[in-house]
Chains A and B, each alone.
Chain A
Amino acid sequence: AQRVTQPEKLLSVFKGAPVELKCNYSYSGSPELFWYVQYSRQRLQLLLRHISRESIKGFTADLNKGETSFHLKKPFAQEEDSAMYYCAPPTPPGNNRKLIWGLGTSLAVNP
């Protein structure tokens, strides 16, 4: 299986502090990766896709092929950023159907 891993289950920061949610992948070739966010009691929704290189809600993510990473970053965390974040492969997966999502990182931004 080609796998996406998120090493941190829980990340706690103070409001205004920088935040980085880590994501690593084990793909070969050129990966496509996404960040999804799940706010409390809401559905998962797309936050960022790597191909667009856009910034959403102050978050950015850069694909680093050398480190096989796609870390999510925000310079100044806000309390409303508290949520569950998933790093995810593309869907549908293409030739290899076995693609494993990251386990998710729960971000808590404290006042």
Chain B
Amino acid sequence: EAQVTQNPRYLITVTGKKLTVTCSQNMNHEYMSWYRQDPGLGLRQIYYSMNVEVTDKGDVPEGYKVSRKEKRNFPLILESPSPNQTSLYFCASSLLGGPTGELFFGEGSRLTVL
């Protein structure tokens, strides 16, 4: 089944403790992206990647890092999480050059930073 898989789905952590949220897709998509969703603020892009080893900042990159060493994986790294990073995070992927530009989303990862 074609899908985008995120882990963990739920995480409670403390300020300053490094964490990684993994994202994997099995559709051979070149484009991958991370978003955070907050009440009243909609979906905001954190980072995106057009292909392996090609990443770029989105609208709210501060406090986050990403890497794209393999086409299928695009982990989101919080080196020193802070409470304002408490949010619902979505990973998404898309086919570059595809006819529709449709994004395929993961199920989301709810992160709480105490």
Stretch at the interface among B15-23, B67-75, B76-84, B96-104: B96-104
Stretch at the interface among A21-29, A73-81, A89-97: A89-97
Contacts of B94 in A (CB 8 A): 91-92
Q: List A residues at the B interface (Cβ < 8 Å).
A: 9, 32, 34, 36, 42-46, 49, 51, 86, 88, 90-92, 97, 100-104
Q: Within the assembled complex, what's the spacing in Å between the Cα atoms of A49 and B99?
A: 11
B82 to chain A, nearest CB (A): 23
Nearest-CB residue, chain A, relative to B101? A90
Number of interchain pairs (Cβ within 8 Å): 55
The answer, among B43, B59, B100, for a CB contact under 8 Å with A104, is B43
Q: B42 near A91 (CB under 8 angstroms)?
A: no
Q: How many residues of B contact A (CB 8 A)?
A: 25
A1 to chain B, nearest CB (A): 9
What 1/0 flags go to B25-58 for Cβ under 8 Å of A?
0000001010000001111110010100000100
Closest 10 CB pairs of A and B: A90-B101, A103-B42, A44-B105, A43-B105, A104-B42, A92-B31, A43-B107, A101-B43, A91-B103, A91-B94
